[in-house]
Amino acid sequence: MSHDSDHHGGDEGSLKGRMLWLGIGVAIFLVVGFVMPTPESVLQVVQEGGFAQKMIDWHIATSPAEAAHKTMLVLGIIPMAVIFFATEAIPIGLTGVLMPILAYFLELLPSSMVGKTFAGDAPMFLLGVLAMGVAVVDVGLHKRLAAWLLGWTKGFMVPVFVLCISMAVVGSFISAHAMCAFMTPVMMAVYLGAVAANSKPGGPIEHDPALAKFLLFSLCFALNVGGVGSPAAGGRNVIMMGFWDEYNVPMDFFTWMKYGLPLVPVMGFLVALYMTVLFKRKIKTTDLTPGLKAIKDETKRMGSMSYAEYVTFGMLLLILVLWIFGGHDLGLGGPSLLALLIPVIFRTTDWRKILGGISWDAWFMYCGALTLGALLKETGAAMWLAQTFLVALESVGMAEGFGLWVGMSGLSGLMTNFMSDAGTTALLGPIVIPMGIMTQVPGEPWAVGLAVAFATSFAHFLIVGTPNNAIVYGLGIYPDTGQRAIHPTDFIKYGFVLWLICMAVVWVVGFIFIYNVVGFPDSILPTATEAMKAVGQ
Q: Does the pLDDT of residue 2 top 50, yes or no?
A: no
In this prediction, residue 33 has a pLDDT band, given cuts at 50, 70 and 90, of very high
**pLDDT score at 208:** 93
Q: What is the mean pLDDT of residues 436-447?
A: 91
Whether the pLDDT of residue 6 is over 60: the answer is no
Least confident of 188-202, 214-228, 231-245, 317-331: 317-331
Cα 56 from Cα 482, distance rounded (Å): 49
Beta-strand (E) ranges in 134-282?
Answer: none
pLDDT of residue 328: 61
Q: 109 and 374 in contact (C-beta within 8 Å)?
A: yes
Could you give the angle at which helices 40-48 and 64-87 cross, rounded to 10 degrees?
110
- The share of the chain scoring above pLDDT 90, in percent, equals 45
Q: What is each CA distance from 425 to 15, 411, 435, 455, in whole angstroms?
A: 39, 11, 15, 10
Give me the chain's average pLDDT, please.
87
Predicted pLDDT of residue 58: 94
Calculate the alpha carbon distances from 342 to 47, 145, 174, 339 in Å. 50, 20, 22, 6
Compare 112 and 151 and report the one with higher pLDDT: 112
Which string of DSSP letters, residue by residue, matches 196-209? HHHSPTTS-----H
Q: Per-residue pLDDT averaged across 489-517, rounded?
A: 95
The residue that leads in pLDDT, 78 or 147, is: 78
Q: What is the per-residue pLDDT across 55-71, written as a single tens digit (0 to 9) for each? A: 999 999 999 999 999 99
Is the backbone of residue 202 left (phi > 0), alpha (psi -120 to 50) or beta?
left
* 229/255 Cα distance (integer angstroms): 11
- Which of 244, 249, 234, 250 is closest to 429 using CA atoms? 244
**Which comes out higher in pLDDT, residue 150 or 52?**
52
- End-to-end Cα separation, the chain, in angstroms: 72
Per-domain boundaries in the chain: 7-118, 122-363+462-518
Instruction: Report the pLDDT value the prediction gives residue 10, as an integer from 0 to 100.
Output: 47
Sign of the Cα torsion 333, 338, 344, 347 reads negative
The pLDDT assigned to 14 comes to 67
**CA distances from residue 87 to 95, 348, 423, 478 in whole angstroms, order as listed:** 11, 38, 25, 21
CA distance 39 to 65: 11
Query: What's the CA gap between 78 and 81, in Å, rounded?
Result: 5
Band of pLDDT at residue 239, cut at 50, 70 and 90: confident
- Highest mean pLDDT, choosing among 117-121, 307-311, 324-328, 374-378: 307-311
pLDDT tens-digit map of 356-365: 888 788 788 7
Per the CB < 8 A criterion, the answer to whether 475 and 130 are in contact is: yes
Angle at 454 between CA 417 and CA 95, to 5 degrees: 10
- What's CA 496's distance to the chain center, in Å? 13
Give pLDDT tens digits for 383-433: 788 778 778 888 888 888 999 999 999 999 998 887 778 778 877 887 888
Give CA–CA dist 330/391, Å, rounded.
41
- Assess whether pLDDT exceeds 70 at residue 267: yes
| Average of per-residue pLDDT across 459-476 | 88
- Spatial CA neighbour of 417 closest among 73, 133, 76, 86: 86
Instruction: Kindly state the average pLDDT of the residues 286-298.
Output: 83
Q: What angle do CA 53, 59, 64 make, to 5 degrees?
A: 40
Q: What is the mean pLDDT of residues 212-222?
A: 96
3-state secondary structure of 81: helix
Mean pLDDT of 1-8: 44
